[in-house]
Amino acid sequence: MPTRVCCCCSALRPRYKRLVDNIFPEDPKDGLVKADMEKLTFYAVSAPEKLDRIGSYLAERLSRDVVRHRSGYVLIAMEALDQLLMACHSQSIKPFVESFLHMVAKLLESGEPKLQVLGTNSFVKFANIEEDTPSYHRRYDFFVSRFSAMCHSCHSDPEIRTEIRIAGIRGIQGVVRKTVNDELRATIWEPQHMDKIVPSLLFNMQKIEEVDSRIGPPSSPSAADKEENPAVLAENCFRELLGRATFGNMNNAVRPVFAHLDHHKLWDPNEFAVHCFKIIMYSIQAQYSHHVIQEILGHLDSHKKDSPRVRAGIIQVLLEAVAIAAKGSIGPTVLEVFNTLLKHLRLSVEFEANDLQEGSVNSANLNTSSKDNDEKIVQNAIIQTIGFFGSNLPDYQRSEIMMFIMGKVPVFGTSTHTLDISQLRELGTRRIQIMLLRSLLMVTSGYKAKTIVTALPGSFLDPLLSPSLMEDYELRQLVLEVMHNLMDRHDNRAKLRGIRIIPDVADLKIKREKICRQDTSFMKKNGQQLYRHIYLGCKEDDNVQKNYELLYTSLALITIELANEEVVIDLIRLAIALQDSAIINEDNLSMFHRCGIMALVAAYLNFVSQMIAVPAFCQHVSKVIEIRTLEAPYFLPEHIFRDKCMLPKSLEKHEKNLYFLTNKIAESLGGSGYSVERLSVPYVPQVTDEDRLSRRKSIVDTVSIQVDILSNSIPSDDVVSNTEEITFEALKKAIDTSGMEEQEKEKRRLVIEKFQKAPFEEIAAQCESKANLLHDRLAQILELTIRPPPSPSGTLTITSGHAQYQSVPVYEMKFPDLCVY
């Protein structure tokens, strides 16, 4: 019962104390005396300067009642405080608030759950009051600590435990709302506060994840669930906290999340981690998304030596964050994301290679295979992240990323790549090549450029084609698939899937547009380079069915997207050259590969003949295919790529009607207006340094006559060199390349570059001019009867017009495939 005083003493007491005493009844069960409470409220509003004294006196009574466990009077005192707080709004309320917060602190410090909940409810009411002026001295450190502790309540009674945790979460929510509305709101974002608030919320959010492991998005909670479920309430509070974060304090709110996930080992499995970062990415302002991505990348760097599953869990979280951020503002982190991911891809391959080496040394190690599989999980997660991120970028940024990744691909014999592979052996280097090309394949997926020059600039095309000559069929497959992604601007590739003889190409409903001037220029400049790589790719001795399918698709896409009449002729020349190479078999290919090339040529000529719709050409192709179906089915893709296909012992005994004949094709195309003069010139791939870089044997051992013919296109300071006298000694030096000096190598490189990139008309004119000059000089030599000392090696027969000049001795040398007309 409250202490009663005599009437004389009561009259001498201050009025505010008498008014406060009167609100307490004789029996606390009767509750607050409303009439006297109205008087106290009127007095406080009329004399606001007395508020601080009223608050101090109420706090004194409350403290005494708490110590004496008079819960009834405690409830009455808090009810009175709440009413006074809601009724009074003036500057004088500041001192009263201090008394109020002191009383709330007393309740929270008590060990009784009911008083703790009561104090929390009063604080939440106070937090919803908007004060007129900011408070420059008030701090909430105690309340942050106390409410955070309540969020981790371990009371034995589940209902009471839940009630205390809900009170703690609501208290944190009140602190957040109160502080972010104050001028000094930055104090709540200090690390010492965030390190308590964020883990407390995540702790309660985690509980629902353990109980409810539902797949898919959860249903929207009702209002009752929000009040009664700690996990739902904690999630709402977490969203509100992040939604109020600004540029300067974003990192302080995110870093405790990493600490919580690390401490509780929630990266493997990572369902809760993914859930948390989805909440973060959707709650923060869009322009701050790159801050979160930077934090994830930094955390990945700090855990680069952790187990593969932990790293895979972090990368999966990054994937989810990037998927959300890519729809909004990504900021300056684009290259940083890819650079970090590629670095970890290299580390993963390095770890995998080291594990394989240790496993081979110590055969008793049973964990090697599981570690390898875990590293593959990491690598696949990185590739998925790179691909998803890249596919959501705008085209101009995607082009930069394509160049960035391509610059990382290591090529044997070069140092142009920027990825550190010093710790990788040959197997590891091959693995990183495959991983990077797979990443590039993901980035280029869905890329649609208006012109092929935009999709395949020279700075990107040259390094891309280099791996296509590697002695690894998987690398070549990836390069071709990347090419298809960039070439296929009308989504025709799915219609061309699988190498086969198409009865009617019109049924495929191929989409195509008129070839623009930029595409025509691209083919004049880079067409020979594309043809060369397709030609050499067909002749690799480790090709499998997929390689031939991709090569066929490459030819078909070039026909659809880039082919004018000139390109069609070049592609047919290429196909005939492939047929001839399979017949002659200078590369000693197996019978399967020879028949595979023949099937590829048949499938492509069937396709191109129907695309250009020349009846005579279609008739010739159809006739050859029909004869092959009856007599040589192994020359058709439907048979050669079938299991247990019967192969011939040789191809030399086959009749000509099984082959596509150049004269027949030229006759059919010439009748339809095509310029077929170049069909009579066999296709010969250019000689470049890529063979050396890609560890392949060069297709020729001597300098091509084309290089010699075009030598006058190289600028020279010495004009006399263009009219140098052609002697047998000069011919010997031109053909014998065993002692070529560095100057000659540079000259050869420039000639090759000129031949690759100069327009065809210019090259043809130069070839004709040089051929005439060579013919005239040889005639002069013969007329002057220059006869060097004879040599037992033999004579050189030179044909000029209708005359044959023999008995011209030559020095002992080799003339492989050299014929001077």
529 located within any domain: yes
pLDDT per position as a tens digit, 498-509: 899 999 999 999
CB 348 within 8 A of CB 375: yes
| Distance separating alpha carbons of residues 411 and 533, to the nearest angstrom | 16
Alpha-carbon distance 253 to 245, whole Å?
A: 8
Q: How far is CA 142 from the centre of its chain?
A: 46
pLDDT band (50, 70, 90) for residue 789: very low
- Burial tier of 713 (Cβ tally within 10 Å: 0-12, 13-18, 19+): middle
Closest by CA to 324, choosing from 364, 281, 365, is 281
Residues 6+ apart with CB under 8 A from 370: none
pLDDT of residue 395: 80
Which 3 state secondary structure label does DSSP give 154?
coil
Kindly state the helix (H) or strand (E) to which residue 803 belongs, with its residue range.
strand 803-805
pLDDT on residue 792: 43
C-alpha–C-alpha distance, residues 649 and 667, integer Å: 33
Which one is predicted more confidently, 812 or 209? 209
CB-based contact 147:103 (threshold 8 Å): no
Q: Is the pLDDT of residue 539 over 90?
A: yes
Quick: pLDDT tens for 200-214. Answer: 999 999 865 554 444
Most confident of the ranges 382-391, 622-631, 755-764, 770-779: 622-631
**Range in 37-46, 229-238, 276-285 with the lowest mean pLDDT:** 37-46
In whole angstroms, give the CA distance from residue 331 to residue 337: 11
- Would you say the C-alpha torsion 458, 421, 418, 304 has a positive or negative sign? positive
User: How far does CA 608 lie from the centroid of its chain?
Assistant: 35
Residue 476 in 3-state DSSP? Answer: helix
- CA pair distance 264, 605, nearest whole angstrom: 63
Considering the domain boundaries, does residue 164 fall inside one?
no
DSSP structural state of residue 809: B
Question: Exposed, middle or buried, 393 (CB in 10 Å: 0-12/13-18/19+)?
Answer: middle
Burial class of residue 499 (count of CB atoms within 10 Å of its CB; 0-12, 13-18, 19+): buried
Question: Do 197 and 148 contact (CB within 8 A), yes or no?
Answer: yes
- pLDDT confidence band for 290 (50 / 70 / 90): confident
- Would the pLDDT of 545 be above 60? yes
User: Cα–Cα distance between 55 and 76 in angstroms, integer?
Assistant: 14
Domain count, the chain: 1
pLDDT (tens digit per residue) in 360-378:
555 545 555 566 678 889 9
What does the pLDDT read at residue 322?
A: 84
| Phi and psi at residue 7, to the nearest 5° | -65, -35
362 versus 443: the higher-pLDDT residue is 443
Q: What is the pLDDT of residue 741?
A: 58
Task: Note the pLDDT of residue 779.
Answer: 59
- Residue 3, CA distances (Å) to 34, 148, 214 in order: 20, 37, 58
Q: Specify the higher pLDDT residue, 30 or 720.
A: 30
Confidence at 179, pLDDT banded by 50, 70, 90: confident
- Across all residues in the chain, what is the average pLDDT? 78
pLDDT at 689 over 60: no
Identify which of 416, 468, 472 has the alpha carbon closest to the alpha carbon of residue 440.
468
CB 514 within 8 A of CB 652: no
Q: For 805, which DSSP code?
A: E
Distance set, CA 102 to CA 53, 87, 114, 140, 193 (Å): 14, 19, 18, 11, 20
Of residues 113 and 754, which shows the higher confidence score? 113
d(CA 554, CA 496): 10
- Return the minimum-mean-pLDDT range out of 80-84, 335-339, 733-737: 733-737
E-strand stretches of 591-675: none
Residue 699 within a domain: no
768 exposure class (CB count in 10 Å sphere: 0-12, 13-18, 19+): exposed
Of 116-130, 318-332, 574-588, where does the model show the most confidence?
Answer: 574-588
For residues 227-231, average pLDDT: 81
* Better-scored residue on pLDDT, 707 or 625: 625
- What are the residues facing 799 on neighbouring strands? 804
Q: Which residue has the higher pLDDT, 236 or 366?
A: 236
Residue 269, preceding peptide bond in cis (omega within 30° of 0): yes
Residue 672 lies in a domain: yes
Q: How far apart are CA 439 and CA 441, in angstroms?
A: 5
Q: Decide: 166 and 228 in contact? Cβ < 8 Å.
A: yes
Residue 798's SS3 state is: strand
The pLDDT of 562-571, averaged and rounded, is 93
Tell me how far apart the 2 most distant CA atoms of the chain are, in Å. 153
800 domain residue, yes or no: no
**pLDDT on residue 562:** 92
Count of Cβ atoms closer than 10 Å to residue 318 Cβ = 25
Reading the block at residue 632, the tokens are: 């040589």
Residue 13's pLDDT is: 73
What is the pLDDT, as a whole number, of residue 791? Answer: 42
Q: Round to whole Å and give the CA distance between 812 and 732.
A: 9
CB atoms within 10 A of CB 679: 21
User: Is the distance from CB of 146 to CB of 171 less than 8 angstroms?
Assistant: yes
Q: Which helix (H) or strand (E) holds 800?
A: strand 798-800
Which residue's structure tokens are 């999630």? 235
Look at residue 679 and tell me if it is in a domain: yes
What Å distances lie between residue 8 and 1, 11, 13, 134, CA to CA? 21, 5, 9, 43
Spatial distance between the Cα atoms of 194 and 199, rounded to a whole number of angstroms:
8
Structural domain for 491, as ranges:
448-694
Distance CA 501, CA 602 (A): 8
Q: How many CA atoms lie within 13 A of 414 on its CB side?
A: 20
pLDDT higher for 235 or 132? 235
Tell me what pLDDT residue 717 has. 37
The Cα 245–Cα 277 span in angstroms is: 15
Q: Which residues pair with 800 in a beta bridge?
A: 803
What per-residue confidence (pLDDT) applies to 111? 80
Tokens matching residue 382: 């990185």
**Mean pLDDT in residue range 15-32:** 81
Cα Rg, the chain, nearest whole Å: 42
User: Is 408 among the domain residues?
Assistant: no
> Which tops the pLDDT comparison, 405 or 687?
405
Evaluate if pTM is beyond 0.85.
no
pLDDT at 8 over 80: no
Give Cβ neighbours of residue 124 (< 8 Å, ≥ 6 apart).
Answer: 170, 171, 173, 174
In-domain check, residue 10: no
Q: How far apart are CA 144 and CA 791, in angstroms?
A: 103
* Burial of 108 from C-beta contacts in 10 A (0-12 / 13-18 / 19+): buried
- CB burial class (10 A; 0-12, 13-18, 19+) of residue 378? buried
Give the tens place of pLDDT for each residue, 570-600: 999 999 999 999 999 988 999 999 999 999 9
Question: Which pLDDT does position 414 carry in this prediction?
Answer: 52
Higher-pLDDT residue of 513 and 696 is: 513
Neighbours of 527 (CB within 10 A): 21
